[in-house]
A = this chain, B = another copy of it.
Amino acid sequence: MQKMDIGIIGGGQLGKMLIEEGLRYNITFATLDSDANSPASAISSEHVTGSLQDAMALKILAEKSAVSTYEIEEINVTALLDLQKQGHAFVPAPESLQLIKNKGLQKQFYGDNHLPTSAFVVVKNVHEWKSAIIEKLPQCIGGKIVAKLCEGGYDGKGVSILKTDEILSGAAEIPFEGPCVLEEFIPCEQEISIIVARGLDGEVKCFPPVEMDMDPVKNLITYQICPAQISDDVLNKANTIAVDVVNKLNGYGLFAIEMFITHDNKILINEMAPRPHNSGHHTIEANYTSQYEQLIRILLKKPLGDTDIIQPSAMVNIIGANNFSGAYVLQYEKELLQMQGVYIHMYGKKESRPARKLGHITIMASDMEALRVKADKVLTMCEVVAL
């Protein structure tokens, strides 16, 4: 049996864009997802229908594929480690995924390696919260903490910003049952993301940082701009930290490193992802090499591509409206299609649901000023409405 060149665990939009960008390399893809109509499986050469928790389904995908990667963290890592022992190749390595997918282990890794990050404590259950805050995060008393479920959070779910006084007094309910990381809340000036590619031969390239605006309610990026408006000094420090993270992880593949820049220009690592990332969508049009092509190159053992920007860009997510679920249309598609340097990416999801990521729009312009004008306009035009 001819193996597929690349297996993708997960069939979401990140897998879809990976395939779209990979076709130019004349390669074949297999996908694994519980939904045979997922965005990526609709265009893969072969699809395995199964849960990402199912060791047998993972084995079938791995056997079909010369090398496998993933586009989501929620995977049965134990099964991947077993399959790796049996000779199946995964990039990034399952060990990297195992560490990153647990926010407690991830945070501990930053601490152990003296990588800058906010103060934190890991709690196993609700009974440990109060004493953990009092003992490990006393500087947060009277202020706020960020609580994150160690496993299973996604797209802002499993993350909560809380007032410590309300937790300690019992006025606020503890939102998560299971193991959590409690972190000092960092009032930050800017939030940036740097995507680092590291080849199997150790070659490293960073994409230029992007700067994010977050929706405080949905806790999703609603607007992103590249290049980030930061000083050369901060840029250099941020690049050094991002590369340091991946080197210390001994990571191979593509890693997105999200960082806070504080009001006094300190850089703190927020979290990382071992896969193509929402903060790299714009690279499809706006950079010489996209994050997706970069991962393809790593998987195929080819040299990394140049990551410079061609033009400044912005990226806006298209998110399901709160007031309905079901079939939908992009309300201003016609007008958007007529704008120069505006690229609509709908992910082909059949139904809208509140806060569901349905697509994104990349906006390019020749300078930052023109870009902001255009992006502000697009931001008002990316609503979906019931069909």
Contacts and interface: CB of A to CB of B under 8 A. Distances in A.
Interface of A: 19-20, 23-26, 42-43, 288, 297, 302-306, 308, 310-311, 333-334, 337-341, 343-348, 364
A311 to B, nearest CB: 7
* Residue among A19, A308, A341 with the highest chain B CB neighbour number at 10 A: A341
Oligomer: number of copies: 2
Contacts of A19: 23
A303 B340 CA distance: 12
Contact of A310 (B24, B302, B310, B348): B310
Contacts of A343: 24
* Residue among A25, A297, A310, A343 with the highest chain B CB neighbour number at 10 A: A310
B26 A338 contact: no
A50 B348 CA distance: 31
A130 B326 CA distance: 72
Given A310-B364, A340-B308, A341-B306, A43 B24 contact: no
* Residue among A25, A288, A347 with the highest chain B CB neighbour number at 10 A: A288
A144 to B, nearest CB: 41
B20 A43 contact: no
A282 to B, nearest CB: 14
Given A24-B345, A306-B338, A310-B310, 20 more contacts: A20-B20, A20-B24, A23-B43, A24-B344, A25-B346, A26-B42, A26-B348, A288-B341, A288-B364, A302-B334, A303-B334, A303-B337, A303-B338, A304-B338, A305-B337, A306-B340, A308-B340, A310-B311, A310-B341, A310-B364
Contacts of A305: 337-338
A347 B338 CA distance: 30
A20 B24 CA distance: 8
Nearest to A21: B20
Contacts of A302: 333-334, 337
A239 B20 CA distance: 33
Nearest to A335: B303
Nearest to A17: B24
B340 A288 contact: yes
A24 B346 CA distance: 7
A357 to B, nearest CB: 15
A309 to B, nearest CB: 11
Closest 4 CB pairs of A and B: A26-B348, A306-B340, A20-B23, A303-B337
A322 B337 CA distance: 44
* Residue among A24, A304, A347 with the highest chain B CB neighbour number at 10 A: A24
A242 to B, nearest CB: 21
Nearest to A349: B26
A342 B104 CA distance: 42
Nearest to A366: B310
Contact of A337 (B26, B297, B344): B297
A283 B334 CA distance: 22
Nearest to A286: B310
Contacts of A43: 23
A340 B304 CA distance: 11
Contacts of A310: 310-311, 341, 364
B26 A346 contact: yes
